[in-house]
Amino acid sequence: MSSTAIANIGELVTWADDEPVRRDAGLVIEDGRVAWVGSSRDLPASDDVVDAAGGAVIPGLVDSHTHLVFAGDRADEFVARMAGRRYTAGGIRTTVAATRAAGIDALRGLAAARMAELRAQGTTTVEIKSGYGLDVETEKQLLIVAGEITSETTFLGAHVVPDGMSADSYVELVTGDMLTACAPLATWIDVFCETGAFDVDQARTVLLAGRAAGLRPRMHANQLGPGPGVQLGCELGVAAVDHCTYLSDADVSALSDTGVVAGLLPGVEFSTRHPYPDARRLLDAGVRVAIATDCNPGTSFTSSMPFCIALAVREMGMTPIEALFAATQGGAWSLQREDVGHLRPGAKADLLILDAPSHVHLAYRPGVPLVRRVIEHPLLRSCESV
């Protein structure tokens, strides 16, 4: 058994009940797990010592919503939006064409490069969706590539209806042959329940078929306007409804009553000029909130969780500590993981040493690369789900 001590931690964020944030702390890792947390002066002897030099140590960030496997970009759409054009779900088909043409080896290279970006910015657990293939072969390829990076793979065949098919026949394909081919490669099933994508009945059909095939449900909903998606998610008990930009009071109550996680994706509002979701309203109502990047070429081409934390603080009414909680423990709730998102003894020892004395600097110094060191344990391949 090998042990590593982290000494001279200026501020240690563990999310322990008694002392979630402690000063002048030390931490010991044994066999990839947090084995001890305490005051710096009581640090037990260990095989190795890493000196945090007064920097803050926080749990590795948990990005619970990405679309990392795709080809091409849509910078021209971004330029048009910044000049006043509205975002529509139809842009997804542009990326589908580029992704189908790319081939699995190119997709693998693109996804690995994006994953390196995420990692450098502190993400140690990531969820990755398919959804830019929209045919059996390409959706499978996307999940194969995603599965080489993470165990949190999501089948999102129901992203939009591809060109040349009716919605009904496409839902039949997604819940039939495509699901049969993709379910063995995925942990989760997702659907984009929104005007221009799938309506609430189609979304229900997709999620129930996925669940019957052994996948756990999660959703995209209420991104572009109010709609019935959140209520459907709460009725089915999905793990998370992501976006939650346009919510009624009944939606907020349903999320709070059911414990379904609201995944907030502020990179989307940054890049579409929609209003930001009201995190304050959700937190005050007792809703469990996660923050994620939604890294994708259409609505949020950022790989940076710290950028999303800064937006959440500046634009969504969160305090820095609430935003960090949502980007770590919130993400772990969203993915139904107990081993990540915190640094209590027993946690997977995925942690970040910051070039800053406090987690506050993640929002206070936006755009500055503050992740000095990422310590992680056989990254992202853990199958320890609850």
Shortest Å distance, C-beta 353 to Fe ion: 30
C-alpha distance from residue 252 to each of 85, 205, 255, 331 (Å): 30, 24, 5, 19
* Part in contact with ligand NIG (CB under 6 A); list of ranges 101-109, 172-180, 289-297, 342-350: 289-297
Report how many residues bind Fe ion under the rule CB under 5 A: 1
Using the rule CB under 6 A, is 192 a contact of ligand NIG? yes
Helix axis angle for 92-102 and 104-120, nearest 10°, is 120
Q: Which does 382 bind (CB under 5 to 8 A by kind): ligand NIG, Fe ion, none?
A: none
264 near ligand NIG, rule: CB under 6 A: no
Query: Any contact of residue 325 with ligand NIG (CB under 6 A)?
Result: no
Query: Nearest distance from residue 65's CB to Fe ion, in Å?
Result: 6
How many Å separate Cα 331 from the centre of its chain?
Answer: 6
Angle at 290 between CA 271 and CA 314, to 5 degrees: 50
- Using DSSP's 3-state secondary structure scheme, residue 57 falls into strand
* Cβ-based nearer residue to ligand NIG, 132 or 325: 132
Q: What is the token pair recorded at 227?
A: 């709609």
Q: Where are the beta strands (DSSP E) in the chain?
A: 3-13, 21-30, 33-39, 48-51, 56-59, 61-63, 123-129, 152-158, 188-193, 216-217, 219-221, 240-243, 261-264, 289-291, 351-354, 371-375
Site string for ligand NIG, 68-97 (x = CB under 6 A): -----------------------xx--x--
Least distance between ligand NIG and beta carbon 194 (Å): 7
We find the least distance from the C-beta atom of residue 67 to Fe ion, in angstroms, to be 6
How far apart are the C-alpha atoms of 1 and 135, rounded to whole Å? 47
299 binds ligand NIG (CB under 6 A): yes
Alpha-carbon distance of 330 to 342, in angstroms, equals: 10
SS3 annotation, 144-162:
HHHHCCCCEEEEEEECCCC
Nearer to Fe ion, 152 or 294 (CB): 294
Binding mask 93-122 for ligand NIG (x = CB under 6 A): --x---------------------------
Q: Closer to ligand NIG at the Cβ: 59 or 157?
A: 157
Could you write out the three-class secondary structure of 210-264?
HHHCCCEECEEECCCCCCCHHHHHHHHCCCEEEECCCCCHHHHHHHHHHCCEEEE
Binding mask 281-320 for Fe ion (x = CB under 5 A): -------------x--------------------------
Six-digit token pair at 57?
A: 């140590």
Query: Does the footprint of ligand NIG cover residue 294 (CB under 6 A)?
Result: yes
Residue 126 · residue 380 · CB < 8 Å? yes
Shortest distance in whole angstroms from residue 103 CB to ligand NIG = 20
Among 99, 138, 296, 334, binds ligand NIG (CB under 6 A): 296
CA dist 305 and 320 (Å) reads: 13
From the number of C-beta atoms within 10 Å of its C-beta (0-12, 13-18, 19+), residue 18 rates as exposed
> 299 contacts which partner out of ligand NIG, Fe ion, none, CB within 5 to 8 A by kind?
ligand NIG
Nearer CB in complex with ligand NIG: 298/317: 298
Nearer to ligand NIG, 334 or 358 (CB): 334
Q: Looking at beta carbons only, is 139 or 294 nearer to Fe ion? A: 294
Q: Which is nearer to ligand NIG, 95 or 138 (CB)?
A: 95
Q: Which residues bind Fe ion (CB under 5 A)?
A: 294
Q: Which residues bind ligand NIG (CB under 6 A)?
A: 91-92, 95, 192, 220, 223, 268, 294, 296-299
